[in-house]
Amino acid sequence: MESAPLERITVSEIVEGAGLTRQTFYRHFRDKYDLVNWYFDVLAKRCFDAMSVTLTLREGLILKFDFIRRESSFFAQAFRSTDCNSIEQHDFQFILAFYSNIIQKRTKKPLADDVRFILELYCHGSIAMTVDWAVTGMEKTSQSLADDLIEALPPKLSNLLLPALE
């Protein structure tokens, strides 16, 4: 992905570079976007698992953004993809489920419709800001981006999420 946009990379090039067969690739992944999403899951799982055990929300976000920065070529290309199986949509589903789970554990009930709406809106916005950051050169520090996203939490979400993650 350092030499070509994701849309131009073929599965044949991926398996050739990895020394695998197409059959092996398709045994594990539906397509190249599924491979990108799997790689993202490795990152996200590490960050969000740590966040739910020992890290605050800020520390978990910084860990995520530092990882994206270390793999900047990969993620800049991956976030530029607009495929229906894109990493942007995958990240949205991942963080929506993560935050929903925290809120449901804290309140001991399913998300109310108004909370779900606010959470979905916030998740879309935070992913859009992450994508923009990743594809435009990552000028902000990981700490600054994390602080901005936490500051942007609507009060209702802040009251539900921050006490659980601090």
Instruction: Give the count of domains, the chain.
Output: 1
The answer on pLDDT for 165 being more than 60 is: no
Helical residues (DSSP H) of 71-138, grouped into ranges: 72-80, 87-107, 113-135
Range of the domain at 139: 32-165
* Helices 113-135, 57-70: inter-axial angle, 10-degree rounding: 30
The CATH number covering residue 48 comes to: 1.10.357.10
pTM of the model: 0.76
pLDDT tens digits, 32-80: 888 888 887 777 777 666 655 556 888 888 988 998 898 888 888 888 8
Dihedral (CA of 10, 129, 121, 160) sign? positive
Measured between alpha carbons, how far is 83 from 18 in angstroms, rounded to an integer? 23
Is 3 within the bounds of a domain? Answer: no
Is 22 within the bounds of a domain? Answer: no
CA proximity to 99, closest of 148, 60, 129: 60
pLDDT tens digits, 82-98: 777 788 888 898 889 88
pLDDT given for residue 80 in this prediction: 86
